[in-house]
Amino acid sequence: MERVRNEMSAKNKYWISKHRYLELKHFCLQYPEWKKAYNYIEKLPASTSVVKISDRDQDGYFIETTAMRRIELSRRMEMIEEAAKETDDYLAPFIFKAVTQGVSYTQLHMQDAMACSKDMYYDRYHKFFWLLNQAR
């Protein structure tokens, strides 16, 4: 897992606050869980209901249909996928892997043969979170 970096300079064109960045980063790291849940729900009959913890309900629970849950999971996953695509054509799959699996620049560069400088990568990495912030 990547270590948490210091706050980005407010002069950076893709600046977002440190806590907003951390919120978005943790949002992205949930992608594998959403994908697993989406694939599981896809196999259930349409009439099946699931229980979900929610901050919209005073008791913390409500029932929603699998269709509604699938739509919500799909929307979240697409938001991350689209932000990665908008970031950079070449780096999109690397950025996606980094933000959803916590993979570092070094791992991407060495193990996945990502061909770009550290400066370019982190510029696009910050751009990704800036775009995601706009979408969310």
The CA-atom distances, in angstroms, between 71 and each of 16, 27, 46, 64 are 28, 17, 13, 11
For each of the domains in the chain, give its residue range(s) and CATH number, in order of start: 18-135 (1.10.287)
pLDDT digits (tens, 9 = 90+) for 49-104: 555 555 555 544 445 677 788 899 999 999 999 999 999 999 999 999 999 999 99
65 close to 49: Cβ distance less than 8 angstroms: yes
- What is residue 134's three-state secondary structure? helix
> What does pTM read for this prediction?
0.79
